[in-house]
Structure 1
């Protein structure tokens, strides 16, 4: 039994109806010399991306709340549902002294029956800040608006579209899901700057990794990841990280109903995809820490018996992945975490309450997370 129409499982969270999210319940570690977590950003509407720059500036994106322009989409039962979109997603900057401000607004697409989709992950190349933004599907009743399924560059208070991943999906459909099954679908969610100066997109709707030239907007396929999690074609890639040698690692959420243990991190070397770490659940990000280890974010757990919103609260975690793919949980009890970023000291910034009432999202700083022992 599916909570959403089957095709909608392609998309990465938080593409779910808004619910009241619980607060962080705390971690169980016993290392007293490490400072307590600190909330560093608040009032967010479904935070999805975090990144900290060398000068200590924190960048955050959120999903927004949709808008006033409407469209319809199939409900999977022969009828339609109404969605909407508008410029309510935000790019937020927190300066080292703690000042939080909205830098730019971007498109938020409120997908009918699912919820808002806006800003995704963040990447920096030189002085330029880029974000992945929003979802679009060929089955929606109106043409794709600007900034949907796109890579955006933040220019002052403006967001400039650099690349249209929906156009690439419509022309190529790498996962081969037929259009009449909702197969022309692109969610530009994961984003990372590669060692070659190019941008890399984890398309959670298209089930693939794309390379984007930030100067020209040209898009090329790196690898299709369809069928990698045992949940049909819907592997739902969510995050990208690189090793020192340029090896790419990609986190996979898995498709619905998000079976426990189906999520994984895969390794891509020269276009060849292989499993790196398996047996995890609902991964929403993977990042490399300054200690050289990868850290994966587990959103939580899906339980169809839990009620009308079957995402179990306060069971999210951060998992350290060692060089051989061994796993150790270093944080648990998190409330719907979606992304993680590190500074050079090993402090981790985690976006939490990725679903929840508008304004309930936040970013929490965990000092010296790279020193946390396994729990």
Structure 2
């Protein structure tokens, strides 16, 4: 798909890195992290670029109640101020709705309609595409002031996650997968 639909201007990784996919209006949306764009793919094979970014690394997607949300990991070194949650509108520029967590890699609508994002943590600095340091990830919630607040345990301490890669909610339980393939759950959100 990316080789047949290259970004303009060209980027040195010609295959891109397709990170997330969500059903959307007769097809699906795909984030392409290395080409810094979001694509809409129709069931008939038509592909259209719906959002393009500078060096921002689009990652996670969520389509909920007709709205599209996405995360940006930001450029290396993936500083917290570069991690953003955006809302995508049809025919309009993406709108930032929250920021403040490093290496944001997923976004999901959770209990009570609240929007959560997944921070993989502090980037390990080894090279492009390498994961965060172990045990630096967080589950964060979008606040009405546009900040990202860590979810805390019953003692008020931020939950520490080991390099999470994707997030899904079932009822009041969050499930996440770590970079080593282990599935974890967080109850009673």
Question: For the pair shown, which has the larger CA radius of gyration, 1 or 2?
Answer: 1
Pairing 1:350–2:180 present:
no
Q: Aligned residue for 1:188?
A: 18
Q: Aligned residue for 1:88?
A: none
> Structure 1 residues 341 and 310, CA, compared in 2 at 3 Å: closer, same or farther?
closer
> Structure 1 residues 247 and 193, CA, compared in 2 at 3 Å: closer, same or farther?
same
Count of aligned pairs = 179
> Structure 1 residues 323 and 199, CA, compared in 2 at 3 Å: closer, same or farther?
farther
Alignment of 1:328-339 (within 5 A): 328-330=149-151, 332-339=159-166
Q: Aligned residue for 2:73?
A: 253
Q: Aligned residue for 1:167?
A: 4
Q: Aligned equivalents of 1:310 and 1:210: distance in 2?
A: 24
Q: Aligned residue for 2:115?
A: 294
2:38 to 182, 206, 209: 209
Pairing 1:265–2:85 present:
yes
Q: Aligned residue for 1:50?
A: none
**Could you state the TM-score of these two structures normalised by the residue count of structure 1?**
0.44
Deviation at 1:310, TM superposition (A): 8.5
1:198 to 20, 24, 27: 27
Q: Aligned equivalents of 1:311 and 1:284: distance in 2?
A: 11
Deviation at 1:276, TM superposition (A): 1.1
Deviation at 1:318, TM superposition (A): 0.4
Gaps of 5+ in 2: 153-158
Deviation at 1:346, TM superposition (A): 1.9
Q: Aligned equivalents of 1:282 and 1:291: distance in 2?
A: 25
Q: Aligned residue for 1:367?
A: 187
CA-based RMSD: 2.2
Pairing 1:222–2:81 present:
no
Q: Aligned equivalents of 1:240 and 1:310: distance in 2?
A: 19
Q: Aligned equivalents of 1:166 and 1:239: distance in 2?
A: 22
Does the aligned pair in 2 maintain the 1:317–1:334 contact within 8 Å? Answer: yes
Q: Aligned residue for 2:155?
A: none
Does the aligned pair in 1 maintain the 2:120–2:131 contact within 8 Å? Answer: no
2:99 to 274, 278, 287: 278
**Could you state the TM-score of these two structures normalised by the residue count of structure 2?**
0.84
Q: Aligned equivalents of 2:46 and 2:125: distance in 1?
A: 41
Does the aligned pair in 2 maintain the 1:293–1:323 contact within 8 Å? Answer: no
Q: Aligned equivalents of 2:123 and 2:2: distance in 1?
A: 29
Q: Aligned equivalents of 2:117 and 2:131: distance in 1?
A: 22
Q: What is the SS of the residue equivalent to 2:138?
A: strand
Does the aligned pair in 2 maintain the 1:190–1:204 contact within 8 Å? Answer: no
> Structure 1 residues 304 and 326, CA, compared in 2 at 3 Å: closer, same or farther?
closer
Q: Aligned residue for 1:322?
A: 143
